[in-house]
Structure 1
Protein backbone atom coordinates (compact mmCIF):
# COMPACT_ATOMS: atom_id res chain seq x y z
CA UNK A 1 0.00 0.00 0.00
CA UNK A 2 1.20 3.50 -0.76
CA UNK A 3 1.75 6.00 1.94
CA UNK A 4 -1.16 8.28 2.75
CA UNK A 5 -0.75 11.72 1.29
CA UNK A 6 -0.57 14.50 3.90
CA UNK A 7 -3.82 16.30 4.25
CA UNK A 8 -3.83 20.07 3.85
CA UNK A 9 -4.46 21.95 7.05
CA UNK A 10 -7.97 23.30 7.18
CA UNK A 11 -8.50 26.44 9.21
CA UNK A 12 -11.41 28.80 9.73
CA UNK A 13 -12.59 30.55 6.58
CA UNK A 14 -10.87 33.85 5.90
CA UNK A 15 -13.00 36.78 6.93
CA UNK A 16 -13.89 39.06 4.08
CA UNK A 17 -13.26 42.70 4.92
CA UNK A 18 -16.41 44.62 5.70
CA UNK A 19 -16.63 47.59 3.39
CA UNK A 20 -17.47 50.78 5.26
CA UNK A 21 -20.71 52.54 4.40
CA UNK A 22 -20.52 54.98 1.50
CA UNK A 23 -20.43 58.71 2.12
CA UNK A 24 -23.11 61.24 1.24
CA UNK A 25 -21.73 64.79 1.31
CA UNK A 26 -23.71 68.00 1.63
CA UNK A 27 -22.33 71.47 1.12
CA UNK A 28 -23.73 73.78 3.81
CA UNK A 29 -24.11 77.40 2.68
CA UNK A 30 -26.63 77.74 -0.14
CA UNK A 31 -27.31 74.00 -0.18
CA UNK A 32 -28.56 73.08 3.27
CA UNK A 33 -29.12 76.78 3.97
CA UNK A 34 -30.66 79.67 2.05
CA UNK A 35 -27.68 81.99 2.52
CA UNK A 36 -24.12 82.21 3.78
CA UNK A 37 -24.21 81.22 7.43
CA UNK A 38 -20.84 82.74 8.35
CA UNK A 39 -21.80 86.19 7.06
CA UNK A 40 -25.14 85.90 8.88
CA UNK A 41 -23.33 84.90 12.08
CA UNK A 42 -20.86 87.79 11.91
CA UNK A 43 -23.67 90.28 11.27
CA UNK A 44 -25.80 88.91 14.12
CA UNK A 45 -22.93 88.82 16.58
CA UNK A 46 -21.64 92.29 15.76
CA UNK A 47 -24.99 94.08 15.66
CA UNK A 48 -26.01 96.61 12.97
CA UNK A 49 -23.72 99.51 13.95
CA UNK A 50 -20.56 97.48 14.60
CA UNK A 51 -21.17 95.43 11.46
CA UNK A 52 -21.49 98.56 9.31
CA UNK A 53 -18.26 99.92 10.78
CA UNK A 54 -16.45 96.67 10.12
CA UNK A 55 -17.67 96.44 6.56
CA UNK A 56 -16.44 99.97 5.91
CA UNK A 57 -12.98 98.97 7.14
CA UNK A 58 -13.07 95.92 4.86
CA UNK A 59 -13.49 98.01 1.69
CA UNK A 60 -9.75 97.75 0.80
CA UNK A 61 -9.92 93.96 1.18
CA UNK A 62 -13.05 93.87 -0.99
CA UNK A 63 -11.34 95.92 -3.69
CA UNK A 64 -8.29 93.66 -3.57
CA UNK A 65 -10.58 90.65 -4.03
CA UNK A 66 -11.58 92.01 -7.46
CA UNK A 67 -8.01 91.25 -8.54
CA UNK A 68 -6.94 88.13 -6.60
CA UNK A 69 -10.38 86.40 -6.45
CA UNK A 70 -9.24 84.46 -3.37
CA UNK A 71 -12.30 83.89 -1.20
CA UNK A 72 -10.12 82.59 1.61
CA UNK A 73 -8.23 85.89 1.86
CA UNK A 74 -11.31 88.07 2.13
CA UNK A 75 -12.89 85.64 4.61
CA UNK A 76 -9.75 85.78 6.74
CA UNK A 77 -9.89 89.58 6.66
CA UNK A 78 -13.51 89.52 7.86
CA UNK A 79 -12.56 87.07 10.61
CA UNK A 80 -9.79 89.38 11.85
CA UNK A 81 -12.13 92.35 11.78
CA UNK A 82 -15.06 90.81 13.62
CA UNK A 83 -13.61 87.96 15.68
CA UNK A 84 -9.97 88.81 16.33
CA UNK A 85 -9.14 88.21 20.01
CA UNK A 86 -12.39 86.41 20.87
CA UNK A 87 -11.81 83.40 23.20
CA UNK A 88 -12.77 80.00 21.83
CA UNK A 89 -15.27 79.29 24.63
CA UNK A 90 -17.08 82.58 24.00
CA UNK A 91 -17.25 81.90 20.28
CA UNK A 92 -18.53 78.36 20.81
CA UNK A 93 -21.30 79.67 23.07
CA UNK A 94 -22.21 82.33 20.50
CA UNK A 95 -22.30 79.71 17.74
CA UNK A 96 -24.70 77.57 19.77
CA UNK A 97 -26.96 80.56 20.46
CA UNK A 98 -26.93 81.51 16.78
CA UNK A 99 -27.90 78.01 15.66
CA UNK A 100 -30.67 77.76 18.24
CA UNK A 101 -32.15 81.06 17.11
CA UNK A 102 -31.73 80.86 13.35
CA UNK A 103 -31.72 77.20 12.30
CA UNK A 104 -35.41 77.30 11.36
CA UNK A 105 -34.93 80.40 9.20
CA UNK A 106 -31.67 79.23 7.59
CA UNK A 107 -32.16 75.54 6.77
CA UNK A 108 -33.97 74.60 3.57
CA UNK A 109 -36.85 72.22 4.37
CA UNK A 110 -36.38 70.17 1.19
CA UNK A 111 -32.64 69.81 1.86
CA UNK A 112 -33.33 68.67 5.42
CA UNK A 113 -35.94 66.22 4.07
CA UNK A 114 -33.34 64.76 1.68
CA UNK A 115 -30.86 64.55 4.55
CA UNK A 116 -33.41 62.59 6.62
CA UNK A 117 -34.14 60.23 3.71
CA UNK A 118 -30.46 59.42 3.44
CA UNK A 119 -30.36 58.86 7.19
CA UNK A 120 -32.55 55.81 6.55
CA UNK A 121 -29.84 54.31 4.31
CA UNK A 122 -26.58 52.66 5.29
CA UNK A 123 -24.44 55.74 4.60
CA UNK A 124 -22.28 58.23 6.45
CA UNK A 125 -23.73 61.74 6.25
CA UNK A 126 -21.12 64.47 6.06
CA UNK A 127 -21.24 68.26 5.84
CA UNK A 128 -18.36 69.68 3.77
CA UNK A 129 -18.21 73.46 3.98
CA UNK A 130 -15.95 76.45 3.46
CA UNK A 131 -17.43 78.07 6.57
CA UNK A 132 -15.57 77.68 9.88
CA UNK A 133 -16.22 74.31 11.50
CA UNK A 134 -16.76 75.95 14.88
CA UNK A 135 -19.68 78.03 13.56
CA UNK A 136 -21.34 75.18 11.65
CA UNK A 137 -20.80 72.57 14.40
CA UNK A 138 -24.06 73.27 16.29
CA UNK A 139 -26.05 72.84 13.06
CA UNK A 140 -24.17 69.61 12.29
CA UNK A 141 -24.93 68.24 15.75
CA UNK A 142 -28.58 69.16 15.38
CA UNK A 143 -28.79 67.30 12.07
CA UNK A 144 -26.96 64.30 13.45
CA UNK A 145 -24.08 64.52 10.97
CA UNK A 146 -21.55 61.71 11.09
CA UNK A 147 -18.77 64.17 10.32
CA UNK A 148 -18.18 67.86 9.68
CA UNK A 149 -15.36 68.97 7.39
CA UNK A 150 -14.84 72.72 7.18
CA UNK A 151 -12.33 75.52 7.42
CA UNK A 152 -10.69 75.64 10.83
CA UNK A 153 -10.14 78.93 12.64
CA UNK A 154 -6.67 79.63 14.00
CA UNK A 155 -6.20 80.33 17.71
CA UNK A 156 -3.25 81.72 19.66
CA UNK A 157 -1.62 80.24 22.77
CA UNK A 158 -4.37 81.79 24.92
CA UNK A 159 -7.04 80.11 22.75
CA UNK A 160 -8.19 83.37 21.17
CA UNK A 161 -9.04 83.88 17.51
CA UNK A 162 -6.06 85.31 15.64
CA UNK A 163 -7.98 86.11 12.47
CA UNK A 164 -6.57 83.54 10.10
CA UNK A 165 -7.27 79.90 9.40
CA UNK A 166 -5.59 76.75 10.63
CA UNK A 167 -6.37 74.87 7.42
CA UNK A 168 -6.81 75.84 3.75
CA UNK A 169 -10.19 77.27 2.81
CA UNK A 170 -12.39 74.17 2.39
CA UNK A 171 -13.53 74.92 -1.14
CA UNK A 172 -12.99 73.42 -4.59
CA UNK A 173 -10.25 70.75 -4.66
CA UNK A 174 -9.80 71.14 -0.90
CA UNK A 175 -13.22 69.56 -0.35
CA UNK A 176 -12.06 66.41 -2.13
CA UNK A 177 -8.75 66.46 -0.23
CA UNK A 178 -10.55 66.71 3.10
CA UNK A 179 -12.95 63.88 2.23
CA UNK A 180 -10.08 61.60 1.24
CA UNK A 181 -8.11 62.53 4.34
CA UNK A 182 -11.11 61.68 6.53
CA UNK A 183 -12.39 58.54 4.79
CA UNK A 184 -9.46 57.25 2.77
CA UNK A 185 -8.39 57.71 -0.85
CA UNK A 186 -10.77 54.98 -2.06
CA UNK A 187 -13.90 56.26 -0.35
CA UNK A 188 -17.19 55.61 -2.08
CA UNK A 189 -19.03 58.91 -2.49
CA UNK A 190 -22.60 57.77 -3.09
CA UNK A 191 -23.99 61.30 -3.49
CA UNK A 192 -22.90 64.91 -3.18
CA UNK A 193 -24.95 68.10 -3.08
CA UNK A 194 -23.69 71.62 -3.79
CA UNK A 195 -24.64 74.92 -5.34
CA UNK A 196 -21.49 76.71 -6.56
CA UNK A 197 -18.30 76.18 -8.52
CA UNK A 198 -16.63 75.54 -5.17
CA UNK A 199 -18.44 72.18 -5.11
CA UNK A 200 -17.50 71.13 -8.64
CA UNK A 201 -14.71 68.72 -7.75
CA UNK A 202 -16.72 67.09 -4.98
CA UNK A 203 -19.71 66.63 -7.28
CA UNK A 204 -17.53 65.18 -10.03
CA UNK A 205 -16.44 62.24 -7.87
CA UNK A 206 -19.96 61.41 -6.64
CA UNK A 207 -22.24 58.71 -8.07
CA UNK A 208 -25.28 60.99 -7.62
CA UNK A 209 -24.51 64.62 -8.44
CA UNK A 210 -26.96 67.03 -6.85
CA UNK A 211 -26.28 70.51 -8.17
CA UNK A 212 -28.71 73.19 -7.00
CA UNK A 213 -31.48 70.68 -6.46
CA UNK A 214 -32.84 72.29 -3.29
CA UNK A 215 -35.05 75.34 -3.64
CA UNK A 216 -37.09 75.28 -0.42
CA UNK A 217 -37.74 78.41 1.61
CA UNK A 218 -37.75 78.13 5.40
CA UNK A 219 -40.95 78.95 7.24
CA UNK A 220 -39.35 79.73 10.60
CA UNK A 221 -39.04 83.26 12.04
CA UNK A 222 -36.10 85.33 10.84
Structure 2
Protein backbone atom coordinates (compact mmCIF):
# COMPACT_ATOMS: atom_id res chain seq x y z
CA UNK A 1 0.00 0.00 0.00
CA UNK A 2 1.36 3.40 -0.93
CA UNK A 3 -0.15 6.85 -0.83
CA UNK A 4 2.48 9.10 -2.32
CA UNK A 5 2.39 12.86 -1.74
CA UNK A 6 4.16 15.52 -3.82
CA UNK A 7 7.83 15.66 -2.90
CA UNK A 8 7.67 12.49 -0.79
CA UNK A 9 10.92 11.19 -2.24
CA UNK A 10 12.93 13.86 -0.43
CA UNK A 11 11.09 13.65 2.89
CA UNK A 12 12.62 12.11 6.03
CA UNK A 13 11.15 8.71 6.90
CA UNK A 14 9.52 7.85 10.22
CA UNK A 15 8.78 4.15 10.67
CA UNK A 16 6.41 2.54 13.15
CA UNK A 17 6.26 -1.15 13.92
CA UNK A 18 2.60 -2.12 14.25
CA UNK A 19 1.85 -5.08 16.54
CA UNK A 20 2.64 -4.31 20.16
CA UNK A 21 3.90 -0.84 19.27
CA UNK A 22 0.86 0.84 17.79
CA UNK A 23 -1.50 -1.92 18.97
CA UNK A 24 -2.05 -3.57 22.34
CA UNK A 25 -1.83 -7.10 20.90
CA UNK A 26 -1.06 -9.02 17.74
CA UNK A 27 -3.42 -7.87 15.01
CA UNK A 28 -3.00 -10.88 12.72
CA UNK A 29 -3.93 -13.56 15.26
CA UNK A 30 -6.82 -11.37 16.40
CA UNK A 31 -7.95 -11.07 12.77
CA UNK A 32 -7.73 -14.81 12.21
CA UNK A 33 -9.75 -15.52 15.36
CA UNK A 34 -12.37 -12.90 14.43
CA UNK A 35 -12.68 -14.19 10.89
CA UNK A 36 -12.80 -17.87 11.79
CA UNK A 37 -15.30 -17.66 14.62
CA UNK A 38 -15.10 -19.48 17.94
CA UNK A 39 -15.42 -23.16 16.99
CA UNK A 40 -13.38 -22.95 13.77
CA UNK A 41 -10.69 -21.01 15.62
CA UNK A 42 -10.26 -23.66 18.30
CA UNK A 43 -10.30 -26.50 15.78
CA UNK A 44 -7.60 -24.70 13.83
CA UNK A 45 -5.53 -24.13 16.97
CA UNK A 46 -5.66 -27.85 17.76
CA UNK A 47 -4.54 -28.67 14.23
CA UNK A 48 -1.65 -26.21 14.63
CA UNK A 49 -0.28 -27.97 17.74
CA UNK A 50 2.42 -29.84 15.72
CA UNK A 51 3.59 -26.53 14.21
CA UNK A 52 3.60 -25.02 17.69
CA UNK A 53 5.78 -27.82 19.01
CA UNK A 54 8.25 -27.29 16.17
CA UNK A 55 8.32 -23.58 17.02
CA UNK A 56 9.41 -24.38 20.58
CA UNK A 57 12.63 -25.75 19.09
CA UNK A 58 13.34 -23.62 16.00
CA UNK A 59 11.73 -20.31 17.16
CA UNK A 60 10.92 -19.61 13.51
CA UNK A 61 8.07 -17.10 13.66
CA UNK A 62 7.76 -17.03 9.89
CA UNK A 63 7.20 -20.79 9.70
CA UNK A 64 4.47 -20.90 12.33
CA UNK A 65 2.81 -17.83 10.81
CA UNK A 66 2.78 -19.55 7.41
CA UNK A 67 1.19 -22.60 9.05
CA UNK A 68 -1.57 -20.37 10.43
CA UNK A 69 -2.10 -18.85 6.98
CA UNK A 70 -2.50 -22.34 5.48
CA UNK A 71 -4.89 -23.39 8.22
CA UNK A 72 -7.17 -20.36 8.23
CA UNK A 73 -6.79 -18.56 4.89
CA UNK A 74 -5.80 -21.05 2.18
CA UNK A 75 -8.10 -20.71 -0.82
CA UNK A 76 -9.61 -17.37 0.22
CA UNK A 77 -9.94 -14.94 -2.73
CA UNK A 78 -7.91 -11.75 -2.39
CA UNK A 79 -11.01 -9.57 -2.86
CA UNK A 80 -12.81 -11.28 0.01
CA UNK A 81 -9.74 -11.10 2.23
CA UNK A 82 -9.34 -7.38 1.57
CA UNK A 83 -13.02 -6.79 2.35
CA UNK A 84 -12.70 -8.79 5.59
CA UNK A 85 -9.60 -6.80 6.55
CA UNK A 86 -11.51 -3.54 6.04
CA UNK A 87 -14.41 -4.71 8.21
CA UNK A 88 -11.98 -5.94 10.87
CA UNK A 89 -10.21 -2.58 11.01
CA UNK A 90 -13.51 -0.74 11.24
CA UNK A 91 -14.61 -2.89 14.17
CA UNK A 92 -11.31 -3.18 16.02
CA UNK A 93 -9.43 0.10 15.56
CA UNK A 94 -10.67 1.58 18.82
CA UNK A 95 -9.92 -1.54 20.87
CA UNK A 96 -6.53 -2.33 19.29
CA UNK A 97 -4.76 1.02 18.79
CA UNK A 98 -2.81 2.60 21.64
CA UNK A 99 -3.95 6.20 22.20
CA UNK A 100 -0.42 7.43 22.95
CA UNK A 101 0.92 5.78 19.79
CA UNK A 102 -1.82 7.41 17.72
CA UNK A 103 -1.03 10.76 19.36
CA UNK A 104 2.66 10.40 18.46
CA UNK A 105 1.70 9.44 14.92
CA UNK A 106 -0.46 12.55 14.60
CA UNK A 107 2.37 14.77 15.86
CA UNK A 108 4.66 13.40 13.16
CA UNK A 109 1.87 13.80 10.61
CA UNK A 110 2.00 17.55 11.21
CA UNK A 111 5.64 17.60 10.10
CA UNK A 112 7.19 17.22 6.66
CA UNK A 113 7.97 13.51 6.93
CA UNK A 114 6.98 10.28 5.23
CA UNK A 115 5.14 8.06 7.73
CA UNK A 116 5.29 4.33 7.14
CA UNK A 117 4.24 1.17 8.95
CA UNK A 118 6.79 -1.65 8.91
CA UNK A 119 5.25 -4.86 10.19
CA UNK A 120 5.73 -8.61 10.30
CA UNK A 121 1.98 -9.05 9.91
CA UNK A 122 0.58 -9.51 6.40
CA UNK A 123 0.36 -6.11 4.75
CA UNK A 124 -3.10 -6.92 3.41
CA UNK A 125 -4.44 -7.12 6.98
CA UNK A 126 -2.64 -4.04 8.32
CA UNK A 127 -3.34 -1.81 5.29
CA UNK A 128 -6.85 -0.67 6.37
CA UNK A 129 -5.51 0.42 9.78
CA UNK A 130 -2.67 2.26 8.05
CA UNK A 131 -5.05 4.02 5.68
CA UNK A 132 -7.11 5.13 8.65
CA UNK A 133 -4.01 6.63 10.24
CA UNK A 134 -3.02 8.35 7.01
CA UNK A 135 0.13 6.29 6.42
CA UNK A 136 2.14 6.91 3.28
CA UNK A 137 3.14 3.27 2.97
CA UNK A 138 2.84 -0.18 4.55
CA UNK A 139 5.79 -2.54 4.43
CA UNK A 140 4.79 -6.00 5.63
CA UNK A 141 4.86 -9.72 5.05
CA UNK A 142 3.28 -10.52 1.71
CA UNK A 143 0.90 -13.42 1.14
CA UNK A 144 1.25 -15.48 -2.02
CA UNK A 145 -1.73 -15.88 -4.37
CA UNK A 146 -2.43 -18.39 -7.14
CA UNK A 147 -3.38 -17.41 -10.74
CA UNK A 148 -7.02 -17.18 -9.62
CA UNK A 149 -5.97 -14.68 -6.93
CA UNK A 150 -6.65 -17.06 -4.04
CA UNK A 151 -4.39 -17.42 -1.00
CA UNK A 152 -1.93 -20.25 -1.55
CA UNK A 153 -1.00 -20.63 2.10
CA UNK A 154 2.57 -19.37 1.84
CA UNK A 155 4.37 -16.04 1.64
CA UNK A 156 5.72 -14.48 -1.54
CA UNK A 157 8.86 -13.45 0.36
CA UNK A 158 10.48 -13.68 3.80
CA UNK A 159 8.69 -12.84 7.02
CA UNK A 160 9.13 -9.07 7.45
CA UNK A 161 10.81 -9.19 10.84
CA UNK A 162 14.27 -8.43 12.24
CA UNK A 163 16.90 -7.93 9.51
CA UNK A 164 14.24 -8.36 6.82
CA UNK A 165 12.69 -5.03 7.82
CA UNK A 166 15.90 -3.24 6.88
CA UNK A 167 16.23 -5.31 3.70
CA UNK A 168 12.80 -4.18 2.62
CA UNK A 169 13.49 -0.56 3.52
CA UNK A 170 16.71 -0.63 1.47
CA UNK A 171 14.84 -2.09 -1.50
CA UNK A 172 12.37 0.79 -1.34
CA UNK A 173 14.58 3.71 -0.38
CA UNK A 174 18.11 2.71 -1.38
CA UNK A 175 21.07 0.99 0.31
CA UNK A 176 21.96 4.04 2.40
CA UNK A 177 18.48 4.55 3.82
CA UNK A 178 18.39 6.35 7.15
CA UNK A 179 15.26 6.88 9.25
CA UNK A 180 14.46 10.13 10.99
CA UNK A 181 12.80 8.09 13.76
CA UNK A 182 11.62 4.53 14.36
CA UNK A 183 9.38 2.91 16.94
CA UNK A 184 9.42 -0.74 18.00
CA UNK A 185 8.73 -3.06 20.90
CA UNK A 186 10.56 -6.38 20.36
CA UNK A 187 13.85 -7.85 19.19
CA UNK A 188 12.24 -8.04 15.77
CA UNK A 189 12.65 -4.27 15.52
CA UNK A 190 16.31 -4.06 16.61
CA UNK A 191 17.79 -3.68 13.15
CA UNK A 192 15.24 -1.07 12.10
CA UNK A 193 15.83 0.95 15.25
CA UNK A 194 19.57 0.81 14.56
CA UNK A 195 19.21 2.82 11.34
CA UNK A 196 17.12 5.55 12.99
CA UNK A 197 18.43 8.89 14.23
CA UNK A 198 15.76 8.73 16.93
CA UNK A 199 15.09 5.12 18.02
CA UNK A 200 12.16 4.61 20.39
CA UNK A 201 11.77 1.26 22.10
CA UNK A 202 8.60 0.39 24.04
CA UNK A 203 7.69 4.02 24.63
CA UNK A 204 3.94 3.51 24.24
CA UNK A 205 2.09 2.10 27.25
CA UNK A 206 -1.50 3.38 27.02
CA UNK A 207 -4.43 1.08 26.44
CA UNK A 208 -7.71 1.95 24.73
Structure 2 length-normalised TM: 0.95
RMSD of aligned alpha carbons: 1.1
- Cross-structure match for 1:141: 131
Residue 13 of structure 1: aligned partner: none
Gaps of 5+ in 1: 1-17
Return the match for 1:109 from 86, 99, 102: 99
Larger Rg: 1
What is the CA-CA distance between 1:19 and the residue it aligns to? 7.7
Q: 1:19 to 1:157 in 2, by over 3 A?
A: closer
Aligned counterparts of 1:50 and 1:153: Cα–Cα separation in 2: 21
Counterpart among 166, 189, 201 of residue 156 in structure 2: 166
| Partner Cα distance (1:83, 1:187) in 2 | 34
TM alignment of 1:1-222, pairs within 5 A: 20-218=10-208
Moved over 6 A (4+): none
Gaps of 5+ in 2: 1-7
Deviations 1:134-178 (A, max 9, x none): 000100111110110000000011110011001110000000111
User: How many equivalent residue pairs?
Assistant: 201
Partners of 1:22 and 1:187 within 8 A in 2 = no
Post-superposition offset of 1:187: 2.4
Q: Distance in 2 between matches of 1:159 and 1:152?
A: 13
